[in-house]
Amino acid sequence: MKLTREHLADLAVGAAFLGTGGGGDPYVGRLMVQQYLDEGCEVELIDPQDIADDWLVVPTAMMGAPTVLVEKIPSGEEAIASLVRLEKRLGRMAHATMPIEIGGINSTIPLVVGARLGLPIVDADGMGRAFPFLEMETFGVYGVSGSPMAVSNEWGDCALIEAVDNRQMEWLSRAVAIRMGGCAYIAEYAMSGAEVKRTAIPNTLTLAIRIGEVLRKAHDEHRNPIEALLGFLPSTLYRYGRVIFSGKIVDVMRETRAGFTMGKALIEGIGHFHSQMEIEIQNENLIARVDGKVKAIVPDLISIMNTETAEPITSENLRYGQRVTVVAVSVPEIMRTPEALNVFGPSCFGLKEPFTSIEEID
């Protein structure tokens, strides 16, 4: 599938939904891709089922603070330099690139790389949403090593990291990213086509585009966009979603610890939703409770949407008085296994509650 300008607009909305409050605004990445499209470059998505088992796929991404990225716009060469450095290290050329994170800005970085290098972009990712740490990847969960990893800046400075495990890789590269100005561009989790098929969450780029499209069309046709979205999900791997609450935000608390926006949003029920919902945030929305009872929990998606426009609202834009509808969505099974929950389940964020899937919660 070849991407158009319209796809990019839809992707931005879908990526924000899948970002569950975090992941950064895809505006800058989207503009860069748009520009390449205007210049005649092509952005070609390829289904993971259609790639050869012996292909080399090198995912690309940005790591660091989105707030820095919106001021220090990339040169566009950084992620490419990282990919090229990994090719050199591995002694092989990449056949394709791929997102590591579909939520937020990182849905767009591989598109920039693909457009520039003429590489196809595998329609899949390793988070299925947004997460704060690089080890939180299904790739790693199912045995792909994140290292060797390349971290680059606009100068062509490049750090090659070979870590003993993916958590250590995250720890070391984060320090490099800070030295590079708080925002750096990476290539990591290089893997074979066979490994992509085994470890990646498939078709998430097209999923994000379709989510944006479903919301846009419902809006244009004066149908309820949230209902339209919930009606669409069963045809995807995120097969179950429902409204878990609807109401008005009555309090937002935020503070920052070690690069995390930690906080809570309190929503007072409207209509047949009684009492209050409390959503705990660590950059992303992690857990939703009503009267102490869990209504949805990470890694299932908890997306806070504007009740009228169905626009997903990011953590930093939550405000008192907003009328919001909270949608919880089941993530694909590959993200819910005990191995996966060990890496990005509730306990990895310091939550005491065990994971319970949204289908099992009444």
Count of positions on this chain that bind another protein (CB under 8 A) = 46
Q: Among all chains, which residue has been given the structure tokens 């990470």?
A: 298
**Residue type for position 197:** K
Stretch that binds another protein, among 66-74, 195-203, 233-241, 297-305 (CB under 8 A): 66-74
Smallest gap from Cβ 125 to another protein, in A, equals 17
The DSSP element (H or E) to which 89 belongs, if any, is helix 78-90
Tell me which of 1, 9, 56, 68 binds another protein, using CB under 8 A.
68
Residue 243 contacts another protein per CB under 8 A: no
Per-residue tokens: 261: 């926006």
Stretch that binds another protein, among 176-184, 196-204, 230-238, 345-353 (CB under 8 A): 176-184
List Cα–Cα distances, 280 to 137, 141, 158, 164, 275, in angstroms. 22, 25, 36, 32, 17
Tell me which of 94, 112, 144, 169 binds another protein, using CB under 8 A.
112
Backbone φ and ψ of 138, nearest 5°: -60, -30
What is the Cβ-side half-sphere exposure of residue 127, based on CA atoms within 13 angstroms? 28
Tell me which of 166, 261, 285, 303 binds another protein, using CB under 8 A.
261
Smallest gap from Cβ 24 to another protein, in A, equals 8
Stretch that binds another protein, among 11-19, 23-31, 140-148, 187-195 (CB under 8 A): 23-31
Q: At what angle do helices 5-18 and 27-38 cross, to 10 degrees?
A: 160
Stretch that binds another protein, among 8-16, 195-203, 208-216, 256-264 (CB under 8 A): 256-264
- 263 SS3 class: strand
Residue 338 contacts another protein per CB under 8 A: no
Residue number with CB closer to another protein (77 or 280): 77
Smallest gap from Cβ 247 to another protein, in A, equals 12
Per 3-state DSSP, the chain is made up of helix, strand and coil in percentages (nearest 5) of: 35, 25, 40
Stretch that binds another protein, among 3-11, 24-32, 90-98, 222-230 (CB under 8 A): 24-32
List Cα–Cα distances, 265 to 51, 199, 243, 282, in angstroms. 43, 34, 17, 11
Residue 163 contacts another protein per CB under 8 A: no
Residues in a beta bridge with 256: 261
* Region 282-321 residues binding another protein, contact defined as CB under 8 A: 283, 315-317, 319-321
Tell me which of 4, 5, 6, 35 binds another protein, using CB under 8 A.
35
Per-residue three-class SS string for 158-173: EEEECCCCHHHHHHHH
**Residue type for position 142:** Y
Smallest gap from Cβ 268 to another protein, in A, equals 9
What is the Cβ-side half-sphere exposure of residue 46, based on CA atoms within 13 angstroms? 22
Separation of alpha carbons 227 and 225, rounded Å: 5
Smallest gap from Cβ 319 to another protein, in A, equals 8
Residue 65 contacts another protein per CB under 8 A: yes
Residue 219 contacts another protein per CB under 8 A: no
Stretch that binds another protein, among 64-72, 137-145, 234-242, 354-362 (CB under 8 A): 64-72
The DSSP element (H or E) to which 10 belongs, if any, is helix 5-18
Residue 67 contacts another protein per CB under 8 A: yes
**Chain positions contacting another protein, by CB under 8 A:** 22, 24, 28, 31-32, 35, 63-68, 70-77, 112, 132, 154-156, 174, 178, 181-182, 248, 250, 255-256, 258-261, 283, 315-317, 319-323
